[in-house]
Copies of this chain bind each other. A is one copy, B any other.
């Protein structure tokens, strides 16, 4: 796509990189005999969802009931709503069960009781298990709690216990790839132990794991029945900084016009701010917070600049890019700069649509 077509902050998607990421992860899941149930919260797009079908994907994960409704409306028939069930939305969920197989997550008696009372359509039920992230879920050792909830679930024949699901979110704060391995393995052991305890009473009990860092770099998925990574479809600087992907795996980049230069600070101002990128940062090698990495055209070639050049501040609609003096000279007011985002899920959510490198517009779920 020609950058002289760009007049505003634009989220550009490289479909080829994206398809490669999907294919790679689909192959990996297959190799490990796991169901590939990718999380669609990163791209939130029916069209991009359809690209997954090319690689045999039939089951998906979403992070809200309205996201489930959007994808079910677009033909998906097997959906896990991977957030602790919000019983206020049971009416919508009941309606959706007429169009698709839906799994919900529970972690407490109150919600299980309300669900047993109000579920009218067939639903699969997974237990959300805390395997070390300590945000949500039942600690894996609490089989007493699990048994109590199972007894409640049994009272409604529409509900089927499916297994145990975890999100190893603490891989995102790992300080080394070793830590990703150990957090994943530790979580896996806990789920495996649960599976073994419940296998006799429930021969089809499953364990489901799902985070991009471990799905990308780990090799041990012994006994894991499905994986649910989402971010890998695009990757981003956060994943790169964890050692989980290379920069060339990142499928989405922002393109932003330069509106000003400030030579005394070696800074340029772009049109592109918090409402485009989000306020997520990673720590740069200089100890400062970084909102994006920079690529510019030098003699017609796209060149990624090193970490001394980065998006350093964001206001609502503007950004400030710090540059080395040499690179500062190379950029002119009116140029369009490429910026690799820190957190592609949040950037995509803000931008609301993509333009592919071929110039096609790809839509997403509406904002509300």
Decide if A279 is an interface residue (CB 8 Å cutoff): yes
Decide if A257 is an interface residue (CB 8 Å cutoff): yes
Q: With the chains together, A279 CA to B333 CA distance in Å?
A: 30
Contact among B6, B114, B353 for A334, CB-based, below 8 A: B114
Q: With the chains together, A269 CA to B83 CA distance in Å?
A: 10
Chain multiplicity (copies): 2
User: In the complex, what residues of B have CB within 8 A of residue A261's CB?
Assistant: 108
Contact A346 B63, beta carbon cutoff 8 Å = no
Contact among B110, B259, B320, B334 for A333, CB-based, below 8 A: B110
Contact A260 B84, beta carbon cutoff 8 Å = yes
Decide if A303 is an interface residue (CB 8 Å cutoff): no
Decide if A135 is an interface residue (CB 8 Å cutoff): yes
CB distance from A11 to the nearest CB of B (A): 10
Q: With the chains together, A22 CA to B120 CA distance in Å?
A: 48
Q: Mark A4-27, 1 if CB is under 8 A from B, else 0.
A: 001110000000000000000000
User: In the complex, what residues of B have CB within 8 A of residue A41's CB?
Assistant: 316-317
CB distance from A203 to the nearest CB of B (A): 29
Contact A260 B313, beta carbon cutoff 8 Å = no
Contact among B65, B86, B317, B332 for A64, CB-based, below 8 A: B317
Contact B84 A269, beta carbon cutoff 8 Å = yes
Q: With the chains together, A350 CA to B64 CA distance in Å?
A: 16
- For A316, A350, A353, the residue with the greatest tally of chain B CB atoms inside 10 Å of its CB is A316
Contact A136 B260, beta carbon cutoff 8 Å = yes
User: In the complex, what residues of B have CB within 8 A of residue A353's CB?
Assistant: 367-368
Decide if A352 is an interface residue (CB 8 Å cutoff): yes
Given contact pairs A134-B265, A278-B279, A317 touches B88 in the complex (Cβ within 8 A): no
Contact among B136, B271, B367 for A367, CB-based, below 8 A: B367
Contact B86 A257, beta carbon cutoff 8 Å = yes
Q: With the chains together, A352 CA to B66 CA distance in Å?
A: 15
Contact among B135, B320, B334 for A88, CB-based, below 8 A: B334
Q: Mark A254-270, 1 if CB is under 8 A from B, else 0.
A: 00010111100100010
Contact B7 A316, beta carbon cutoff 8 Å = no
User: In the complex, what residues of B have CB within 8 A of residue A271's CB?
Assistant: 64, 83, 86
User: In the complex, what residues of B have CB within 8 A of residue A88's CB?
Assistant: 6-8, 257, 334, 336
From 96 to 141 in chain A, residues with beta carbon under 8 angstroms from any chain B beta carbon are: 107-108, 110-111, 114, 134-136
Contact A89 B352, beta carbon cutoff 8 Å = no
Q: With the chains together, A41 CA to B367 CA distance in Å?
A: 18
Decide if A351 is an interface residue (CB 8 Å cutoff): yes
Decide if A61 is an interface residue (CB 8 Å cutoff): no
User: In the complex, what residues of B have CB within 8 A of residue A7's CB?
Assistant: 86, 88-89, 92
Beyond A7-B92, A110-B334, A134-B265: 10 further Cβ-contacts under 8 Å? A8-B66, A84-B260, A84-B269, A86-B257, A87-B334, A135-B313, A135-B320, A169-B315, A275-B349, A353-B367
Residues of chain A touching chain B, judged by Cβ–Cβ distance below 8 Å, are 6-8, 41, 63-66, 83-89, 92, 107-108, 110-111, 114, 134-136, 169, 257, 259-262, 265, 269, 271, 274-275, 278-280, 313, 315-318, 320, 332-334, 336, 345-346, 349-353, 367-368
14 A-B residue pairings within 8 Å (CB atoms): A7-B88, A8-B65, A8-B66, A8-B86, A64-B317, A83-B271, A84-B260, A86-B257, A110-B332, A110-B333, A135-B313, A135-B315, A278-B278, A278-B279
Give the 8 A-B CB pairs with smallest separation, nearest first.
A7-B88, A352-B367, A110-B333, A84-B259, A279-B279, A63-B317, A84-B260, A86-B271
